[in-house]
């Protein structure tokens, strides 16, 4: 609707004094956001209420019952035995070498999980979260992104980081909170971040990243408007189905739609939020059904099918950037094979047999392996060699990271604001004085790079 | 409740006379608690030369007679014009905002830079953090400070900690500014009167700033948007939006976000406050100095609520030996508590009397009791 200027002088008492930087004093102009909606036409069979412009009138009273609707279908390309079932599409759209690399990345996540889980049990670092069963969602979706795209993660997307080039050394540095940690030792283990790879540091409060991701996507859109030389970019935002119950999820999808943000929301629906099964999390048709309510293009995909995840993500990215941009919602279905974290024993709330059936029958690593073996690009020898070499590499980085000094104690005080405040400087000085006065109480300071000296001005 | 909030806000914006009647709380027999005479108070620049002198300008520098919302509008206009990364959004900002602070801006800069968001405070702040994380300078408006709490998690757990947790990745949301009207307005009751600044002062990583006047607001807001690389909570005393008018330099300028300002020199007592109560403090000081010959009271505007300017406050109190802290929000754990504790630590040997606090009582801002709750000229400090 074209905007129409409405000239309406304000009452004299409201007229502003001369000098205030207003476009025109005393006059209010209508703008795009004020354009009047169409009036209800006599005899029309459709609604023109401003709140729902395309609804048709009906004389039949009917409450729409979600239980009577068909559940949204789950898209897949490859079945659980590695057979292609969507023959209308080239399942690969990537070279054999690339696919083998995806497989190795998923294996790396899986093997690292085993080693890190055990290390936490040995008390070598404080916490760990495994992503078993969900490696395909992370790697498949990441393979559809460009290096310039921006990622906001929850905490079970290690595969995204690895695929984008985050190294095992960087991961181990974060887990051990050593001096090479990007986060300078401030975050719990698995809260990775990388400026180089455009992955924002993970934070623990659930769903907070979702509206942030919408805002970041709006920024990317604006920056391209300002400078057409900037390549088209999207934001990929990941969260679990439990986090989707937070108010921030609602906030984000709504504003992403109304502001037409180039973002793909990826929901990992693995059936559990710690001990809470999905049946206690929502009553509707999963998370995907909500996307339509916000006016967001939505698809549900088999999260154990890396080809389907990738194809969906490629298409979602393309659509997000079309025209004036728009958000897309992808719900990737999977099963959390692991405990929630090293602080959780999931057999307290679900049957062990259920987990083992998922492990054995269908998981993203097994499925891709079957496909590769059918295609003849993988075999038992390659599998053994890959597992051995990955394990060796993980253990090497593990051992190296464990020996590295912790960050300087100074890092405890820096980056709260851009600059140190006088108050913080006084606190650093006081901490230094206390450590000097009671050296035996703080003897561990020698493990921190620079020791006590790092607290000097 | 939201419908009531909207109705109340629009009603106030459109019915200035009605508001003026409500705003007048003083009874006809009152001798001390007369309405603030904004045309005479020393807190405002009543003459062109007063403004020029204060901001170090030449005698021919242009100055305009501006109220608070006009000064904020001027600052936003300058920011939007001088930096393409600046965005302004929130509920109802597109048509000019319920207090007219964004009047004319969406017409001039377009609805991709000045726009309405859906009605959701946690969404507004989360969205703004994401914009800032990618290098934009979003100015997010929360329509009333009373409604910032749905965004508390985004501000405290996210905005304040963003740079710290990102560490060496270099990520931060330093371009973020969150503006909100705050403080009593005569008839705002529970949800249009609050002054929650002390809640944000307990959060390392956020700057909290409150201006006292149009010229202060213009400089502080411009600095917050264009110069600061830390997230800023910018609180605007809404009773001053149209009441406080003064001469303001026309050209853009900035003010420091971490410095208090001594408004009046004195040698017997230091009075510390910020925002709207400064006008009451000024009137009270005038009344006292008239009543007690030779009395000389120093008045300090804290301005930077956190990180705050301990050095200026302690210098003043070490000179006078006595201190009173005044604020509208309630007594327990208010800004006055932090200031008083710091004075006790930093000026202990000089103090001639306990630090006094004059604040709102420990209750909610009930509608018809505002006159008895807000500190006024007769308010006496709590006995220790």
- Tens digit of each residue's pLDDT (9 = 90 or more) over B97-145: 999 899 899 999 999 999 999 999 999 999 999 999 999 999 999 999 9
B116 near A CB under 8 A: yes
Residue that is written with structure tokens 């005080």 in the block = A413
CA-to-CA separations, B15 to A16, B22, B67, in angstroms, rounded: 15, 11, 17
Largest alpha-carbon pair distance within chain A? 89
Q: For position B22, what pLDDT does the model report?
A: 34
User: In this structure, what token pair is assigned to residue B23?
Assistant: 């705003």
A255 and B154 within 8 Å at the Cβ level: the answer is no
A251 and B174 within 8 Å at the Cβ level: the answer is no
Q: For position A412, what pLDDT does the model report?
A: 93
Q: For position A337, what pLDDT does the model report?
A: 82
Return the SS3 of B207: strand
Which CATH code fits B261-373? 3.40.50.920
Q: For position A37, what pLDDT does the model report?
A: 62
Q: Report ipTM for this prediction.
A: 0.88
Please, which residues bridge with residue B323 across strands?
Answer: B270
Q: For position B281, what pLDDT does the model report?
A: 97
Residue B268 pLDDT greater than 90, yes or no: yes
Residue B379 — very low, low, confident or very high, per pLDDT cuts 50/70/90? confident
A214 and B118 within 8 Å at the Cβ level: the answer is no
A24 near B CB under 8 A: yes
B154 and A248 within 8 Å at the Cβ level: the answer is yes
User: In this structure, what token pair is assigned to residue B82?
Assistant: 């001088």
Kindly write down the DSSP assignment for every residue of A37-67, as one continuous string.
PPPPPTT-SB---TT-TTPBP-SS-----GG
The secondary element (H helix, E strand) that includes residue A239 is strand A235-240
Pick from B75, B72, B92, B66: nearest CA to B13: B92
Segment 38-77 of chain A within 8 Å of chain B by CB: none
* CA distance linking residue A196 with residue B274, whole number of Å: 43
Of B94, B108, B205, the CB nearest to A416: B205
Q: For position A31, what pLDDT does the model report?
A: 44
Tell me if domain B48-249 and domain B261-373 are identical in fold: yes
CA-to-CA separations, B215 to B83, B226, B252, in angstroms, rounded: 21, 17, 10
Residue B17 — very low, low, confident or very high, per pLDDT cuts 50/70/90? very low
| Minimal C-alpha gap between A219 and chain B (Å) | 5
* CA distance linking residue A362 with residue A359, whole number of Å: 6
Please, which residues bridge with residue B260 across strands?
Answer: none
Q: For position B28, what pLDDT does the model report?
A: 67
Q: For position A38, what pLDDT does the model report?
A: 64
- Locate the domains of chain A by residue range: 69-403, 409-455
Catalytic residue among B69, B78, B121, B370: B121
CA-to-CA separations, A169 to A127, A128, A160, A166, B268, in angstroms, rounded: 18, 16, 16, 8, 63
Please, which residues bridge with residue B301 across strands?
Answer: B261, B273
Averaged confidence pLDDT in chain B: 90
Residues of chain A with pLDDT under 70: 1-38, 40-41, 92, 361, 457
Mutation target to probe the A interface, by most A beta carbons within 10 A, among B17, B134, B176, B339 is: B134
The secondary element (H helix, E strand) that includes residue A265 is strand A263-269
Residue B368 — very low, low, confident or very high, per pLDDT cuts 50/70/90? confident
Return the SS3 of A330: strand
E strands within chain B? 63-67, 86-90, 114-116, 137-141, 177-182, 207-209, 232-237, 245-249, 261-264, 269-273, 297-301, 304-306, 323-330, 356-360
Q: For position B162, what pLDDT does the model report?
A: 98
Residue B279 pLDDT greater than 70, yes or no: yes
Residue B20 — very low, low, confident or very high, per pLDDT cuts 50/70/90? very low
* CA distance linking residue B108 with residue B113, whole number of Å: 10
Cα–Cα–Cα angle for A274, A193, A164, rounded to 5 degrees: 100
Pick from B120, B140, B124: nearest CA to B76: B140
Helices B335-346/B310-320 angle, 10° precision:
60
**Assigned architecture for domain A69-403:** 3-Layer(aba) Sandwich (3.40)
A258 and B107 within 8 Å at the Cβ level: the answer is no
Helices B310-320/A422-437 angle, 10° precision:
90
Mean pLDDT of B311-316: 97
Return the SS3 of A80: coil
Q: For position A12, what pLDDT does the model report?
A: 42
- Per-residue pLDDT tens for B133-192? 999 999 999 999 999 999 999 999 999 999 999 999 999 999 999 999 999 989 899 999
- Per-residue pLDDT tens for B206-247? 999 999 999 999 999 999 999 999 999 999 999 999 899 999
* CA distance linking residue B196 with residue A217, whole number of Å: 31
CA-to-CA separations, A331 to A84, A260, A300, A349, B364, in angstroms, rounded: 21, 20, 5, 24, 45
**R_g of chain B computed on alpha carbons:** 20
User: Looking at the annotation, which residues of A are catalytic?
Assistant: 118, 204, 340-341
State the CB neighbour count (10 A cutoff) for residue B139.
28
Chains A, B: CB pairs < 8 Å: 217
A123 near B CB under 8 A: no
Which CATH code fits B48-249? 3.40.50.970
Question: How do beta strands B323-330 and B269-273 pair?
Answer: parallel
Q: For position A26, what pLDDT does the model report?
A: 38
- Locate the domains of chain B by residue range: 48-249, 261-373
Residue B8 pLDDT greater than 60, yes or no: no
* CA distance linking residue A75 with residue A93, whole number of Å: 17
Residue B30 — very low, low, confident or very high, per pLDDT cuts 50/70/90? confident
* CA distance linking residue A86 with residue B177, whole number of Å: 50
User: In this structure, what token pair is assigned to residue A408?
Assistant: 């300087």
A210 near B CB under 8 A: yes
């Amino acid at each position: 609707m074209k905007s129409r200027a409405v000239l309406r002088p304000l009452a004299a008492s409201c007229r502003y004094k001369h000098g205030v930087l207003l476009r025109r004093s005393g006059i209010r102009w209508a703008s795009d956001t004020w354009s009047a909606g169409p009036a209800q036409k006599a005899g029309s069979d459709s609604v023109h209420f401003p709140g729902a412009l395309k609804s048709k009138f009906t004389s039949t009273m009917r409450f729409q019952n979600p239980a009577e609707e068909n559940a949204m279908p789950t898209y897949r390309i490859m079945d659980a035995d590695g057979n292609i079932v969507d023959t209308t599409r080239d399942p690969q759209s990537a070279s054999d070498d690339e696919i083998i690399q995806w497989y190795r990345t998923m294996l790396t996540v899986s093997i690292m999980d085993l080693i890190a889980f055990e290390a936490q049990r040995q008390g070598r670092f404080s916490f760990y979260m495994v992503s078993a069963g969900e490696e395909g969602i992370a790697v498949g979706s990441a393979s559809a992104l460009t290096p310039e795209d921006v990622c906001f993660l929850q905490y079970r997307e290690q595969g995204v980081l690895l695929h984008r080039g985050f190294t095992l050394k960087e991961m181990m540095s974060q887990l051990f909170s050593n001096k090479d940690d990007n986060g300078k030792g401030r975050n719990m283990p698995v809260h990775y971040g990388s400026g180089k790879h455009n992955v924002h540091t993970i934070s623990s409060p659930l769903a907070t990243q979702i509206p942030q991701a919408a805002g970041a996507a709006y920024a990317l859109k604006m920056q391209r408007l300002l400078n057409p030389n900037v390549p088209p970019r999207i934001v990929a935002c990941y969260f679990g189905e439990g986090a989707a119950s937070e108010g921030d999820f609602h906030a984000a999808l709504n504003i992403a739609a109304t502001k037409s943000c180039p973002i793909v929301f990826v929901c990992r629906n693995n059936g559990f939020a710690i001990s809470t099964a999905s049946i206690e999390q929502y009553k509707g048709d999963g998370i995907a059904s909500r996307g339509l309510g916000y006016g967001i293009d939505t698809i549900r995909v088999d999260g154990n099918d890396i080809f389907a995840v990738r194809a969906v993500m490629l298409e979602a990215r393309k659509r997000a950037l079309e025209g004036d941009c728009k958000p897309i919602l992808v719900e990737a279905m999977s099963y959390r094979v692991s405990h929630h974290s090293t602080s959780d024993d999931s057999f307290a709330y679900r049957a062990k047999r259920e987990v083992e059936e998922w492990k054995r029958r269908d998981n993203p690593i097994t499925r891709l392996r079957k496909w590769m073996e059918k295609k003849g690009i993988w075999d038992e020898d390659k599998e053994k060699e890959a597992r051995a070499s990955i394990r060796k590499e993980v253990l090497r980085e593990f051992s190296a990271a464990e020996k590295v000094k912790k960050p300087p104690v100074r890092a405890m005080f820096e980056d709260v604001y851009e600059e140190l405040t006088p108050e913080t400087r006084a606190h650093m000085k006081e901490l230094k004085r206390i450590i000097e006065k009671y050296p035996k109480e703080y003897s561990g300071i020698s493990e921190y790079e620079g020791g006590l000296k790092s607290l000097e001005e | 409740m939201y419908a009531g909030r909207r109705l109340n806000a629009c009603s106030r914006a459109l019915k200035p006379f009605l508001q003026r009647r409500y705003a007048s709380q003083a009874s006809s027999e009152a001798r001390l608690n007369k309405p603030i005479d904004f045309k005479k108070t020393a807190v405002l620049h009543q003459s062109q030369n007063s403004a020029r002198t204060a901001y170090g300008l030449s005698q021919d520098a242009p100055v305009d007679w501006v109220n608070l919302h006009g000064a904020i509008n001027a600052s936003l206009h300058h920011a939007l014009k001088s930096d393409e990364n600046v965005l302004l959004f929130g509920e109802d900002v597109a048509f000019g905002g319920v207090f007219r602070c964004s009047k004319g801006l969406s017409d001039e800069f377009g609805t991709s830079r000045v726009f309405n968001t859906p009605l959701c405070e946690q969404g507004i702040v989360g969205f703004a953090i994401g914009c800032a994380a990618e290098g934009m300078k979003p100015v997010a408006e929360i329509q009333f400070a009373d409604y910032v709490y749905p965004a508390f998690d985004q501000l405290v757990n996210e905005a304040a900690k963003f740079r710290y947790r990102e560490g060496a990745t270099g990520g931060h949301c330093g371009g973020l500014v969150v503006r909100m009207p705050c403080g009593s307005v005569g008839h705002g009751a529970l949800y249009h009167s609050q002054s929650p600044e002390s809640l944000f002062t307990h959060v390392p990583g956020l700057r909290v700033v409150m201006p006292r006047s149009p010229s202060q607001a213009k400089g502080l807001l411009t600095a917050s948007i264009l110069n600061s690389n830390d997230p800023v909570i910018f609180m605007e005393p809404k009773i001053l939006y149209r009441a406080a008018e003064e001469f303001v330099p026309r050209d853009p300028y900035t003010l420091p976000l971490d410095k208090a300002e001594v408004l009046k020199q004195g040698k017997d007592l230091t009075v510390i406050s910020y925002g709207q109560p400064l006008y009451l403090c000024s009137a009270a000081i005038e009344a006292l100095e008239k009543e007690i010959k030779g009395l000389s009271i120093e008045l300090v505007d804290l301005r930077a609520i956190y990180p705050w300017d301990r050095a200026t406050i302690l210098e003043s109190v070490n000179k006078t030996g006595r201190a009173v802290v005044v604020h509208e929000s309630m007594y327990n754990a208010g800004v006055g508590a932090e200031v008083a504790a710091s004075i006790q630590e930093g000026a202990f040997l000089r103090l001639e009397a306990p630090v006094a606090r004059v604040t709102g009582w420990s209750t909610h801002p009930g509608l018809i009791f505002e006159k008895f709750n807000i500190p006024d000229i007769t308010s006496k400090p709590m006995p220790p």
